[in-house]
Amino acid sequence: MVIKMMDVQKYLDRVAERKRTGRVTTEHQLTGLELAKLLNDEKHKSLYIKLAKQYKRSWLIGIAKNISEKKNIKNKGAYFMKVIHNEL
């Protein structure tokens, strides 16, 4: 088994971050939290984290940014889910 120095460094950085913040922060969690913030839908954070595990970050964030810029949508989280469903 070959261990790359980059992988070791990433692991050590994540451990240090967890110690500093006391929270687990993976890439998927950060993406899910960013989606929740963009869509102003904090109560469905776990749903967005699950989506971030399944789909590409750039695709999800792109859709969320487009929706967040529209001012006439009341429930942006529901609209986001509808757009993703239609895209798939």
Q: State pLDDT tens for residues 26-59.
A: 888 888 889 999 998 889 988 999 999 999 999 9
Whole-number pLDDT of residue 22: 59
The contacts of residue 77 (CB under 8 Å, 6+ apart) are 39, 40, 41, 44
Q: What is the DSSP letter of 43?
A: G
Mean pLDDT of 14-18: 75
Taking the complete model, does pTM exceed 0.85, yes or no?
no
Whole-number pLDDT of residue 63: 93
Whole-number pLDDT of residue 6: 65
Whole-number pLDDT of residue 2: 54
pLDDT at 14 over 80: no
Q: Is 12 exposed, middle or buried (0-12, 13-18, 19+ CB in 10 A)?
A: exposed
